Amino acid sequence: MTSIPSHKTDSMTQSTPNYADIQSIVADDFEIMDKQVFGNLNSKVQLVMSVSQHVINAGGKRMRPLITLLCARMFEDKPSEKAMHLAAITEMLHTATLVHDDVIDESGQRRGKPTANATWDNATAVLVGDYLIARAFNLLVGFQSLPLLQVFSDGTCDIAEGEVLQLQHQHNPAATEEDYLRIIDGKTSRLFMMATQGAAILQDRIEHMQALGDFGQHFGNAFQIIDDVLDYSGDSEVMGKNLGDDLAEGKPTLPTIKALELLKDSDIEGYEQLRVAVQTGKTPNAEQLIELVRRSGSLDYCKQRAWEETKLAQQALSTLPDTRYRTGLYQLTELASARLL
C-alpha cells in the first residue's frame, strides 16, 4: 500500500478511527451543512416539503458532503460558507438518487425506516426526487461558476446513465465485470467525484482536479464493491435490508457475476441454480444460494478488488496538501475497508 507521507497520525497507525472521529475534524462546518440540507428547500407545495423532510431525516451518515468539507478545508483551513452550501447540495442530490432507487427496487424500507414510496406512493416519490435534483441545480446557479455547473451536470447525467445500465443488465446472468464497473462508475463513484472536484473548483485549486477525480472514482468503486459483498456476508440489521436482496432483485453485482464465472468451471449444478435465480428473481432457497456464492470463492475475489480500489484511492491522495483533512479522507477509505474484516 502506498503510504500517505508525514501526516499519517498515530491514531491511523494504531487503529481505524470511527466515523464520528473523522466527522469531528470538521464538526462546526458539518453541523451548519446538516441544517442547510433541509433548510435550502423552499417549495410552495406542502407535500413536497413533507416528503423531502421524511427522506432527508431518514438517517444516513452524510459521507459525501463530509468529503466536500474535508477537501475544502484541506485547501484552505477556515470556514467556507460556499463549501458548506455545496456540501448540502451534494447531499440533496444523493438523497434524490436514493428516493428514485427505492422506487425502482420497490423497497419498503431504507435504514430500517419506511421509504417515501411506501409511505406515500411511487408517483409522489419520483416527483419529489425530481424536485430535489431541480432544486439542487437551482442552488448551484447561485455560485455563478460554469465549471462547477459543468462538473455537476455531467456527473448527474452519468448517475442517471449508470442507473439505466443497471436496469438494462437486471436479471442478466451474462453480465460481466466490465459491465458492472461501468454501472458503478455512474451510479456510485460519480457523486464521490463531484463531491471532491466541486470543492477544488470553489477554492480555485483546479490543479488538483485529476487527483481528486481519481480519489473519488476509486473510493466510490471500493465503497460499492464492499456494499455488494456485504449483501452476502453482512449483518442484515446493521444494513437495514435482508441478505441476498440484490440477488432477489436480479442486480448485476460483482459477487454474483464472479460466482457465476467460477461455478461454471467447478460446479455446473450450482451454476445453473444461481443462473436461474438471477434470471427469474425467484429465490425460495435464498440461504442455499448465498452459501453457494460464499463457497465459490467470489467474495474473496471481490474483497481483493475492493482493497485494490482502496489502494488506488489512497495513492491519489499522496499528491494533495499534507494536512489533517487529507488524513481524514485517508481514514474514510480505511473505515470503509474495515467493514470487510
134 residue type, one letter? A
Most confident of 51-55, 57-61, 286-290, 322-326: 322-326
Per-residue 3-state assignment (H helix, E strand, C coil) for 96-127: HHHHHHHHHHCCCEECCEECHHHHCCHHHHHH
Least confident range of 1-10, 83-92, 147-156, 258-267: 1-10
**Would you say 143 and 202 are in contact if contact means Cβ atoms under 8 Å apart?**
yes
- pLDDT, one tens digit per residue, over 210-236 is 999 999 999 999 999 999 999 998 665
The pLDDT value given to residue 15: 60
Q: Which residues are CB-contacts of 250 (< 8 A; sequence separation ≥ 6)?
A: 170, 171, 172, 278, 279, 280, 281
pLDDT of residue 2: 41
Q: What is the dihedral of CA 148, 335, 177, 174, to 10 degrees?
A: -110
Residue carrying C-alpha cell 425506516: 113
User: Residue 241: its pLDDT value, please?
Assistant: 56
Contact 283, 244 (CB under 8 A): yes
Q: What is the DSSP string of 151-200?
A: HHHHHHHHHHHHHHHHHHTTT-TT--HHHHHHHHIIIIIHHHHHHHHHHH
Domain locations in the chain as residue ranges: 10-338
State the chain's mean pLDDT as an integer. Answer: 90
Q: Rg for the chain (alpha carbons), in Å? A: 20
* CB neighbourhood size of 17 (10 A): 21
**Residue 177's pLDDT band (boundaries 50, 70, 90)?**
very high
pLDDT, average across residues 274-301 = 92
Euclidean distance between the first and final Cα of the chain, in Å?
A: 17
Place of cell 428547500: 41
Architecture of domain 10-338: Orthogonal Bundle (1.10)
Identity of residue 263: L
Report the distance separating Cα 74 and Cα 272, nearest Å. Answer: 51
- Return the closest-CA partner of residue 13 out of 341, 327, 303: 327
Collect all residues with Cβ–Cβ distance below 8 Å to 33 and sequence separation of at least 6. Answer: 62, 65, 69, 84, 85, 87, 88, 91
